[in-house]
Amino acid sequence: MEYISVFDMFKIGIGPSSSHTFGPWNASLKFIEKYFDLFQKNPLKSIHIELFGSLSLTGKGHATHIAVVLGLLGFIPETIDLNEIQTALESIENTHTLLLNNSIKLKFNLEDNIIFKNEFLPFHQNAVRYHAIFNDNQSVCETYYSIGGGFIVQENNLKTAQPINPFPYPIQNGNELLNYCKTLNKNIKDIVLANELSLRNPEAIDIGLNKIFATMASSIYTGCHTPGILPGGLNVKRRAFQLHKDLIGNFTYSSQSEWLDVLKNLKPDFKNTLQWITCFALAVNEVNASMGRIVTAPTNGSAGVIPSVLFYYICFENPQATPNDIQTFLLIAGELGSIFKKGSTISAAAGGCQAEIGVSSAMAAAALCNMMGGSTAQVLIAAEIALEHHLGLTCDPVAGLVQIPCIERNAVGATKAIQAANLAIKTNPDDAKVPLDKVIKTMWDTAQDMNFKYKETSKGGLALNVNMADC
């Protein structure tokens, strides 16, 4: 059984893709961590990186080649100054050298040292391989797989040992979570929090959840206040800026906190509420598409769903929501996300977009249903409804960019989540016909049946029928 923390599901990183940007970036950091002492002792001749499968087919659109380099330089996704990215890349381009882990000077050319190989390795569709060759022609080679949501596994360590400190309430599926709540007379938050407390102290949990929310809020605010065209060549216009401008009207504010206070006092009608939800989701994913800082929720490509539903809740459903309410929302969503990952996948390269937007919509629906007073059974029903109505959704990004149709899909996924929560809250669990766990299994079965070209390859669907010339 996997022991997955809420902080594994919600990671602060850089866009545009968790599996194609964040994951390979982390792989570079792991590679350096493992061999840096050896690199310091033995002079290096070169490092080459091979990108396989989906990482190769859509790698440039997802900035995979940039991500692996930033990792080799030693930059951390959560803390890097975004202004340093372009400076670092220009330095490599101009000098043809790379400062490995900010200390070891190495000859490096982006065109020659990063190799795109369209072949797929057996374990997973996203693979990156590092070859380090020393001056004496000895070498080391490591292969990592980016399995979605920023998670990575090393090829020779695919079956990892159980953690030393397993959770007091290990949960593999929805039924186990429901049984814990019933037999122990606890709610979902109690169970999740007890598991998290086995890993870190209350202060660390509090700080971590607050940082996650702050990053989500910042990405919404940034996206709502940034006009222009998204990078990548598709000339996609940022829409959150104008939509926000139309919705906010003549209200004024001088800070993000004042802006949030304005939102809480708007009391929009049904149509404008839908527009706000759309605006929030577009904002996050436009930040993501431009290599901004967002939270994997559970992935970068689906990063806008949970923040937009959370903002819907704290701005329009319950403007008196407390920090504790926000933390509860995140804990519930994170736990549901871990169940989907254990039972299926959160990688579009493995399961199509049903594994990203479908899962994020289900996570948001579960969390919202809980905050609306839903029982544990109703929370699982909300997740089931949202996931069920994303089954079979393909991943076909145009030009390999996380823009078309990805950005709009976040807005649609958010509205589906809210509808699912409202359906679930009015459902008698005794009348429910479809258990969550069976929908999760169905998603995995569907993923196995889905043609590979609909799994983040840009070889089918919209990616084939819409091209750069159309845009």
3-state secondary structure of 152: strand
Tokens of 14: 């850089």
Of 122-126, 225-229, 241-245, 430-434, the range with the lowest mean pLDDT is 122-126
CA-nearest of 70, 65, 52, 39 to 139 is 39
pLDDT above 60 for 160: no
Tokens of 21: 């940007």
Contacts of 177 (CB under 8 A, 6+ apart): 171, 188, 191, 335, 339, 376, 380
3-state secondary structure of 268: coil
* 44-53 and 126-134 strand pairing: antiparallel
Question: What is the reported pLDDT for 467?
Answer: 72
Average pLDDT over residues 409-434: 97
pLDDT above 80 for 1: no
Question: HSE (CB half, 13 Å, CA atoms) of 298?
Answer: 36
pLDDT above 50 for 131: yes
Cβ contact 134:30 at 8 Å = no
Cβ contact 415:277 at 8 Å = yes
How many residues would you count in the chain?
A: 471
Question: What is the reported pLDDT for 61?
Answer: 83
**CATH for 6-157?**
3.30.1330.90
Cβ contact 433:388 at 8 Å = no
pLDDT above 70 for 157: no
pLDDT above 70 for 124: yes
Cβ-based neighbour number of residue 142 at 10 Å: 18
pLDDT digits (tens, 9 = 90+) for 10-32: 999 999 988 889 899 999 999 99
CA-nearest of 143, 294, 304, 298 to 214 is 294
Quickly state the pLDDT bin for 161 (edges 50, 70, 90). Answer: very low
pLDDT above 90 for 58: no
pLDDT above 70 for 438: yes
pLDDT above 80 for 232: yes
CA-nearest of 214, 420, 186, 219 to 326 is 214
In terms of DSSP H, where are the helices of 103-255? 110-113, 174-184, 188-197, 202-224, 240-248
Average pLDDT over residues 162-166: 61
Tokens of 112: 């020659």
pLDDT digits (tens, 9 = 90+) for 448-462: 999 999 998 888 999
What residue segments make up the domains of the chain, in order of their start? 6-157, 174-470
Alpha carbon of residue 279 to chain centroid: 19
Tell me how far apart the alpha carbons of residues 276 and 261 are, in angstroms, rounded to a whole number. 15
pLDDT digits (tens, 9 = 90+) for 268-278: 999 999 999 99
Tell me how far apart the alpha carbons of residues 289 and 222 are, in angstroms, rounded to a whole number. 13
> CA 228, 23, 103: angle at the middle one, nearest 5?
95
Question: What is the reported pLDDT for 400?
Answer: 86
Tell me how far apart the alpha carbons of residues 180 and 87 are, in angstroms, rounded to a whole number. 51
Q: What percent of the chain is modeled with pLDDT above 70?
A: 97
Question: What is the reported pLDDT for 468?
Answer: 62
Calculate the dihedral angle through the C-alpha atoms of 222, 225, 229, 232, rounding to the nearest 10 degrees. 0
CA-nearest of 224, 306, 316 to 270 is 316
String of b and e for 391-413 (b: at least 16 CB within 10 Å)?
Answer: ebbbbbbbbbbbbbbbbbbbbbb
